[in-house]
Amino acid sequence: QQFNVTSYDAAAMAVIIFQAFSGMWINAFIVSVICNAWVKKKTLNSNEKILVLLGCSRFSYLCISWIYSLLAIIYPVYLHVHPIRQLAEGAKSFFNCSNLWVSACLCVFYCIKIASFRNSFFIYLKVKIDRMVPWLLLGSVLFSLVIGILAFNIGDKLQCNNSTGQGRLWKVKFQMDEQFFPIYFFTGFGYATAFMAVIFSALLLLFSLWRHKHNMQTNSMKDLSLDAHIKAMKSILSFFVMYSINCISLIVAMIYTAEGQNPVMFLTHVCLYAFPGVHSLLLIFSNPRLEKTLLRILSFVKCK
């Protein structure tokens, strides 16, 4: 059986490959800088733990996507060999879900660390958040693993259906829609939960910023924590906008899964592959150590 790649597919994949390759280098930079600091000081704080896991999951997701798209252009027949495609889809689902959940954990961590409320439960979270971070990351990985296993199993069933369903495309598509229901449910639940965590974190931090600024104006005093509030608010709001676009793209991608390649799928994949790189770039410029290291590297390259 021949598998032809049209010029439109090749152009779309070329754009995706470029995005994935750029995002890989950005996230590799984050992981390498933090790991280098880890070796020197022998410890990692909670923020660095989240950034390392986030960088690793994004690098792995983009790397697999890059290889997948490259194979689809150069030798697409490999993608129809069992179980290469199933493994790729399962790994992509695992790392993508891990990316979303760890991103949400980072947003919640910033909110709890910076926002100030007198509520006893919030004070308890602020005190215990450093101990809770490893468990939050472990829960994110375990849930992502469930999504990855479901994606692999569904891909495996679809491969069997497609191999025995020649001339009965309508039946194969109907069966595919039925078999997609478990991963639709769990994935949708995971995306909705992570998205709600991001929304509540942004709203809480915004309310904390407003109340803190109001108290300062009332008492006619200055407080350095206002700068921390504003910086965190800018970071979370920019992340919220990108996270919203990413979640909408994921929903559209799930809806159009069975429709094949089309302009809508191309735009959604552009958004999906842009999110890990663009957000990581913003994380670099919001972290003094990462920003300083990046600027030093860029100045060195410029001098060379």
Q: What is the CATH number of the domain that holds 49?
A: 1.20.1070.10
Is residue 108 assigned to a domain? yes
φ, ψ of residue 46 to 5 degrees: the values are: -65, -40
Q: How confident is the model at residue 228 (pLDDT cuts 50, 70, 90)?
A: low
Is residue 302 assigned to a domain? no
Over its C-alpha atoms, the chain yields an Rg (Å, rounded) of 22
Residue 2 CB partners (closer than 8 Å, separation 6+): none
Distance of CA 93 to the CA centre of its chain: 11
pLDDT at 5 over 60: no
Q: For residue 79, with 0-12 CB atoms within 10 Å meaning exposed, 13-18 middle and 19 or more buried, which class applies?
A: middle
Buried b (16+ CB within 10 A) or exposed e, 177-210: eebbeebbebbeebbeebbebbeebbebbbebbe
pLDDT at 173 over 50: no
Residue 194 CB partners (closer than 8 Å, separation 6+): 100, 101, 103, 104
Is residue 294 assigned to a domain? no
Is residue 297 assigned to a domain? no
Q: Which residue in 67, 94, 70 sits closest to 10, CA to CA?
A: 70
More confident residue, 5 or 301: 301
Tell me, what's the pLDDT at 159? 55
Split into its structural domains, the chain has a count of 1
> Can you give the residue range of the structural domain that contains 218?
7-288
Place of tokens 């150590």: 289
**What integer is the mean pLDDT of 174-195?**
67
In contact, 269 and 66? CB cutoff 8 Å: no
Alpha-carbon distance of 128 to 123, in angstroms, equals 9
In contact, 107 and 198? CB cutoff 8 Å: yes
- pTM across the whole model: 0.83
Q: For residue 113, with 0-12 CB atoms within 10 Å meaning exposed, 13-18 middle and 19 or more buried, which class applies?
A: middle
Tell me, what's the pLDDT at 131? 92
Q: For residue 131, with 0-12 CB atoms within 10 Å meaning exposed, 13-18 middle and 19 or more buried, which class applies?
A: exposed
Is residue 1 assigned to a domain? no
Is residue 247 assigned to a domain? yes
* Secondary structure letter of residue 76 according to DSSP: G
Is residue 2 assigned to a domain? no
Task: Map residue 5 onto helix, strand or coil.
Answer: coil
Is residue 260 assigned to a domain? yes
| Residue type for position 178 | E
Q: How confident is the model at residue 167 (pLDDT cuts 50, 70, 90)?
A: very low
Distance of CA 77 to the CA centre of its chain: 29
Tell me, what's the pLDDT at 30? 93
Residues in the chain: 304
